[in-house]
């Protein structure tokens, strides 16, 4: 699967792809990443890629023409592809990146061209004419699209076969369908007691069914406390069992009892 990245700072992506467990996806060629600097496609002695915004105001705006020329070069280099890869722009206007969308991209046959904006943004005419998808990584503003691009690629890379030591590792991740889209449970390792805190007894029992039951209950608890919207979604999809609902009812009752004691 091939990804082409348009960025003014290709060295940021180069370092990212050489580190961590996900580097295996890049080293093996499962994810082929090509880096393109739009400055190389700008005209003039200074290779200018930005200018002041019409209407005034602070900051600079990336020029449409160098981006267009860079995109043309990528399209030409991808001529062997029967289906042209979509252009993705990382922007606060985009759809929120989540596990479902990552899983879809991880199974894509064409990959994508990723546009990392800078400054105040990109000339809207280029976006209107050539961008196929806009993606957001949260309600915040970053200095450029390189960090979202790395988050996007990292999430896709870890889903590739053989990248993680245990092929089932990502099956228990938060938001995964195997958890019905819920948050993952807490995790513990040695020693059994750390600063007076004991590892929960079920995890030390060696009883497989008891461990699975504890983990499911903790997953429900974490989700109910921190992302109740995911509980609502799981109910709407009829993914919760009667045992799950009983666990949630107990949580509601215990919380209400604590509030009453404090009043």
pLDDT score for 14 = 96
pLDDT score for 210 = 97
Q: Which of 23, 75, 86, 120 is catalytic?
A: 120
Q: What is the pLDDT along the chain (263 residues), one digit of tens a residue?
A: 999 999 999 999 999 999 999 999 999 999 999 999 999 999 988 899 999 999 999 999 999 999 999 999 999 999 866 668 999 999 999 999 999 999 999 999 899 999 999 999 999 999 999 999 999 999 999 999 999 999 999 999 999 998 987 666 665 566 677 678 899 999 999 999 999 999 999 999 999 999 999 999 999 999 999 999 999 999 999 999 999 999 999 999 999 998 888 87
Q: Which of 92, 167, 186, 228 is catalytic?
A: 92
The CATH topology of domain 169-262 is 1.10.1270
pLDDT score for 80 = 67
Active site residue 92: yes
DSSP assignments along 124-182, one per residue: HHHHHHH--EEEESSSS--SBSHHHHHHHHHHHHTTSTTSSSSTTGGGGSTT-GGGTT-
pLDDT score for 44 = 87
Q: Which of 158, 180, 215, 216 is catalytic?
A: 158
- 228-236's contacts with Cβ under 8 Å and 24+ in sequence apart are 230/175, 230/181, 230/182, 230/183, 231/182, 233/181, 234/180, 234/181, 234/182
Active site residue 215: no
pLDDT score for 178 = 64
Nearest to 152, CA basis, from 18, 11, 31, 29 = 31
The CATH number that domain 2-157 falls under is 3.40.1280.10
Where along the chain do the CATH 1.10.1270.20 domains lie? 169-262
Active site residue 173: yes
Where along the chain do the CATH 3.40.1280.10 domains lie? 2-157
Residues sharing a CB contact under 8 Å with residue 171, sequence separation 6 or more, in sequence order: 178
pLDDT score for 203 = 97
């Amino acid at each position: 699967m091939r990804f082409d990245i348009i960025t003014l700072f290709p060295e940021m992506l180069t370092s990212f792809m050489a580190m961590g467990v996900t580097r295996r996806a890049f080293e093996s060629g499962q994810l082929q990443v090509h880096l393109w600097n739009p400055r190389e496609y700008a005209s003039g002695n200074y290779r200018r890629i930005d200018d002041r915004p019409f209407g005034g105001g602070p900051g600079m705006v990336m020029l449409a023409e160098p981006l267009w020329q860079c995109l043309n070069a990528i399209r030409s280099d991808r001529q062997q592809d029967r289906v042209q890869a979509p252009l993705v722009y990382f922007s606060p206007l985009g759809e929120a990146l989540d596990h479902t969308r990552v899983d879809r991209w991880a199974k894509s046959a064409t990959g994508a061209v990723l546009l990392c904006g800078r400054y105040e943004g990109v000339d809207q005419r280029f976006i209107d004419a050539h961008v196929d998808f806009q993606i957001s990584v949260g309600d915040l503003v970053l200095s450029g699209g390189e960090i979202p691009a790395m988050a996007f690629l990292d999430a896709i890379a870890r889903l590739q076969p053989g990248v993680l030591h245990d092929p089932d590792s990502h099956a228990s991740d938060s938001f995964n369908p195997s958890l019905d889209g819920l948050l993952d449970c807490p995790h513990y390792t040695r020693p059994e007691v750390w600063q007076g805190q004991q590892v929960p007894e079920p995890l030390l029992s060696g009883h497989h069914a008891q461990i699975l039951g504890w983990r499911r209950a903790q997953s429900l608890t974490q989700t109910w406390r921190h992302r109740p919207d995911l509980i609502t979604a799981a109910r709407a999809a009829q993914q919760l069992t009667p045992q799950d609902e009983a666990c949630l009812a107990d949580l509601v009752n215990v919380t209400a009892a604590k509030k009453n004691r404090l009043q």
